[in-house]
Structure 1
Amino acid sequence: MALCYVDEAGQEDAQQLASRLSLPLLDQYDLRDEQFSQLLICESGRRCLQQTGRKAPGPVLADFVSGAVAHRRKFGGGKGQMIAKAVGIKGSVRPQVADVTAGLGRDSFVLATLGCEVQMVERSPIIHALLESGLQQAQRDPDVADIAARMQLVNADSIDWLADQLTTECKPQVIYVDPMFPHTDKSALVKKEMRVFRDIVGDDQDSATLLERALALAEYRVVVKRPRKAPTIEGQAPSYQLNGKSSRYDIYTLKSLL
């Protein structure tokens, strides 16, 4: 992987990121040049990941302002969404959530849109860099700045982070887990993002340990998102499940949300 920039506004950001991430910085780039399989591109305050090669798909980025997330924010069903029911949103209850597999932050953004305070924990420094850029853009946008204010970002290994939180007084009320799993969704968007994610972070081989740590820390419940037909994570059985068309939520209740 290498860093590059396409305009003057992205140059300083790219230089700082190259130093922080210990990645080579390119003055020029050609997507047909496969010297590097992935490029982290900085452009006018935006960061995106781009595969190289003649048949490479489009860029992957964390976008909380436009596109699919904007449509879901406006027309997504509010408190009636399955994810809202899974984390325990009901009436005036808005639990504080730790999303310990943040990815591109879409589920975190939905929960923040519904009024939850959300901590996003992402272990990949590359994906963290995308989230950081997406949050900064959202903080500058008047339509979503109040939502972004409810989202905090942490770059840490989630298993280590969960262990560290055991010694703190303020523990997450709900812990949300969406480990990497072979998706059956055939959409180009999902295939593109999964391909990029697997190149960078690989599969989650430590899901059982992550669940165990989450159960030891969460105050009220742990929620695990899975493909609908996937097996449960090894270990404690969920208290109950919510099933959708392509995915489901395994809910591990510890005590009732008030």
Structure 2
Amino acid sequence: MSRSKTSNSSAVTETIPLAIARGPLGDEHQARTLSLDLSLPYLGVVCPKDIRHASALLFLDESGLCLQVAGKGAPGPVRAEFVRGKMGYRREHGGGSGQLVARAVGLQKTRAGLHVLDATAGLGQDAFVLASLGCRVSLFERNPVIHALLTDGLARAALNTECAPIVARMTLHSGSSIGWLDRVAASCEEGAEETAADVVYLDPMFPHREKSALVKKEMQVFRTIVGDDDDSDDLLAAALSAARYRVVVKRPRKAPAINGPEPGTRIEGKSSRYDIYPVRALPPR
């Protein structure tokens, strides 16, 4: 843990990695509840740029909960936002089943209402797109900080008349998805039916790049809290044992595939690609 000297050279102040705080219009009850649930210190009403003794804040303001790096010159807040901004525009003008993630999941090939398991939900953006296209989506997010951001974003979206029907198709779970996938695989081996997800979707933390300018703001902030996903190989293996039709893995466009079997096919975009591992054919249109 880093240490920084105060103006009194004999005093030493510890810099904590993360704390809870709020703006003047932030919900105090929610802030105190988060502090207890996450066992993080609560700093009260603060201005994030003035904070020196915490590296980052889970910060509540009039727009909800966000993750904010503290100090002057830090990147802007990161929050799970589905109503406005990029996701709001994408919901209205996103291109339907022609979007890359929708094609990767197979929505252009089937009329079935697919159950998709998003095993590494993050801020839930791809899950929201799939739910907006009619999928039932189960989301797993094991990092409690990111889980709190996603919980807040979904709760706010549920209050919006256009987003509420979409959010109703999304179910958020805490903890690692590997245990759930292993239990599903074991149930299938014992002859249980209708337990596996139709498609398992994986978007593990992208590998670190030395040139930080090439990394999205969200990833820069996330890495300070989450770090890398070191069990991607195990997650892929568990997903392949549980998926009914296919597993889809999102990767940086030039990154190697996750260790394991070779993908059956790939769909490439400008900066990322989708590795597709077919298990069996999707139901026809």
Report the TM range for the smaller structure's normalisation: over 0.9
Which of 123, 134, 146 lines up with 1:127 in the alignment?
146
Query: C-alpha displacement at 1:105, in angstroms?
Result: 0.6
The secondary structure found in structure 1 opposite 2:234 is: helix
Paired with 1:64 and 1:189, the residues of 2 have a C-alpha distance of 24
Q: Tell me the distance in 2 between the aligned counterparts of 1:119 and 1:187.
A: 32
Instruction: Flag the 1:190–1:146 CA change in 2: closer, same or farther, 3 A.
Output: farther
Q: 1:89 to 1:227 in 2, by over 3 A?
A: same
Distance 2:67 2:214 in 1: 14
Alignment-mate amino acid for residue 148 of structure 1 = V
Q: 1:146 to 1:189 in 2, by over 3 A?
A: farther
Gaps of 5+ in 1: none
Partners in 1 of 2:64 and 2:240 — Cα distance? Answer: 36
Aligned to 1:82: 100
Which residues of 2 match residues 218-229 of structure 1 at below 5 A? 218-229=243-254
1:150 aligns with 2:169: yes
> How does 1:1-258 map onto structure 2 within 5 Å?
1-7=18-24, 10-30=27-47, 31-44=49-62, 46-90=64-108, 91-167=110-186, 169=192, 170-182=195-207, 191-258=216-283
Deviation for aligned residue 1:190: 5.2
Q: 1:33 to 1:5 in 2, by over 3 A?
A: closer
Give 3-state SS (helix, strand or coil) of 2:54's partner: coil
In the alignment of these two chains, the number of paired residues is 257
Partner of 1:85, secondary structure, is helix
Deviations 1:24-52 (A, max 9, x none): 11123232222111100123471111101
Whole-angstrom CA distance in 2 between matches of 1:29 and 1:209: 41
Q: RMSD value over aligned CA atoms?
A: 1.9
Q: C-alpha displacement at 1:204, in angstroms? A: 1.1
Q: Shift of residue 162 of structure 1?
A: 1.9
Is the Cα contact below 8 Å between 1:183 and 1:227 reproduced in 2?
Answer: no
Amino acid at match of 2:83: V
2-structure distance, mates of 1:224, 1:56 = 31
Counterpart residue type for residue 207 of structure 1? S
Which has the greater radius of gyration? 2
| Separation of aligned partners in 1, 2:212 and 2:132 | 25
Q: Distance in 2 between matches of 1:8 and 1:34?
A: 22
Q: Quick check: 1:45–1:137 contact (8 Å CA) kept in 2?
A: no
Judged with a 3 Å threshold, the aligned counterparts in structure 2 of structure 1 residues 103 and 134 are, in CA distance, closer, same or farther, namely same
Aligned partners of 2:101, 2:208: CA distance in 1, in Å? Answer: 18
Task: Please tell me the residue identity of whatever aligns with 1:26.
Answer: L
Task: Specify the SS of the correspondent of 1:194.
Answer: helix
TM-score w.r.t. the length of structure 2 is 0.85
Residue type at the aligned position of 2:151: E
Distance in 2 of aligned mates of 1:48 and 1:219: 35
Whether contact under 8 Å (2:24, 2:45) holds in the other structure is: no
Residue 257 of structure 1: how far off its partner (Å): 1.0
Counterpart secondary structure, 1:140: coil
How far did 1:9 drift?
A: 5.4
Q: Secondary structure at the match of 1:104?
A: coil
> What is the rounded CA distance, in whole Å, between the counterparts of 1:127 and 1:176 in structure 2?
18
Measured in 1, the distance between the counterparts of 2:54 and 2:98 equals: 44
Separation of aligned partners in 2, 1:32 and 1:189: 27
What amino acid is the match of 1:104? Answer: L
SS of aligned partner of 1:257: coil
Please report how far the alpha carbon of residue 210 of structure 1 lies from its aligned counterpart in structure 2 after TM superposition.
Answer: 0.6
Q: SS state of the match for residue 223, structure 2?
A: helix
Unaligned runs of 5+ in 2: 1-17
Which aligned segments of 4 or more residues in structure 1 are displaced greater than 4 angstroms? 186-190
Instruction: Work out the percentage of aligned pairs sharing the same amino acid.
Output: 50
- The amino acid across from 1:128 in the alignment is H
